[in-house]
Amino acid sequence: MKGVCLAAGLVVTSAMSGCMKDKNTQLAQLVEQIETVEQWSHGPQVKEHIAWLDRSIAWDIVAVVTMSWAAQEVDEPERVEGLLRSGLAEVAAGPGDHVVSLVSRWKQALGPEARCRLSTASEEDVSWLRVRLSLPPPKGASTESQQTLAAYATRAGETRQVQRVDCGGAAHLLVGVLAERLVPILRE
């Protein structure tokens, strides 16, 4: 019996470390995409890079976080609902042709270093990210928009294994894992 339990434990441990290795490989690939965006975005394999990014990133969560926090900054609550409806429609459509510009923006904000560094996110970074992923509805959001944001927040709340990407600039990227996809959120 003891041997069976030990063997089962080894199988579970191996499977878990395999998952972690896959996530680390996926994260390393994302970092490489960011570091080399200037080269691949003008090269013959641009479609392959975009396809990988489409498959590997939870773009809907990235977009909803960005859009909902931008709406928090709007001084006129009566404009918020229109912005949210427009933004949520874009989220549903996906990033499309904007993938290259989004990755380029990350690279520009992250800094000039050719090689980025990965590290475990600090407790403060994780706390900051958790607040962003909670998607509090901005003032002026309709009940329908609030419910949509709440549904995204429930899903985004499952983001785990947060890592930090630094490339020498003032900003850094916090990247979590959500259902086999990466959730990169820029912290400026």
Q: Is the pLDDT of residue 15 over 70?
A: no
Query: With 60 as the cut, is the pLDDT of residue 20 above it?
Result: no
Strand, coil or helix: what is 116?
coil
| Residues in the chain, overall count | 188
Structure tokens at 65: 């976080």
Which of 131, 180, 181 minimizes the C-alpha distance to 157?
Answer: 131
Q: Which two tokens stand for residue 165?
A: 């990407």
SS3 of residue 183 by DSSP: strand
Distances (CA, A) of 95 to 53, 111, 123: 10, 23, 30
What residues make up the domain containing 146?
Answer: 2-187
- The per-residue pLDDT for range 58-89, each reduced to its tens digit, is 999 999 999 999 898 898 888 999 989 888 88
81, 136 in Cβ contact below 8 A?
no
Over the stretch 126-184, which tens digit does the pLDDT of each residue have?
A: 999 999 999 999 989 999 999 999 999 999 999 999 999 999 999 999 999 999 999 99
* Pair 86, 110: CB distance under 8 Å: no
pLDDT of 28 over the 90 cut: yes
Our count of domains for the chain comes to: 1
23 band by pLDDT with thresholds 50, 70 and 90:
low
- pLDDT-derived band at 98 (thresholds 50, 70, 90) equals confident
For residues 96 and 129, which has the higher predicted lDDT (pLDDT)?
129
Name the nearest CA neighbour of 110 among 53, 170, 63. 170
Helix (H) or strand (E) holding 34: helix 2-35
Q: Please report the pLDDT score of residue 37 as a whole number.
A: 94
156 against 112, higher pLDDT: 156
Q: Which two tokens stand for residue 104?
A: 């380029």
Q: What average pLDDT does this structure show over 91-110?
A: 88
The pLDDT of residue 75 is 86
Instruction: Look over the chain and give the mean of its residue pLDDT values, rounded to a whole number.
Output: 86
Average pLDDT over residues 14-34: 67
Whose structure tokens read 């912290």? 187
Single-letter residue type at 108: Q
Compute the distance between CA of residue 133 and CA of residue 69 in angstroms, rounded to an integer.
10
Mean pLDDT for the stretch of residues 1-21: 37
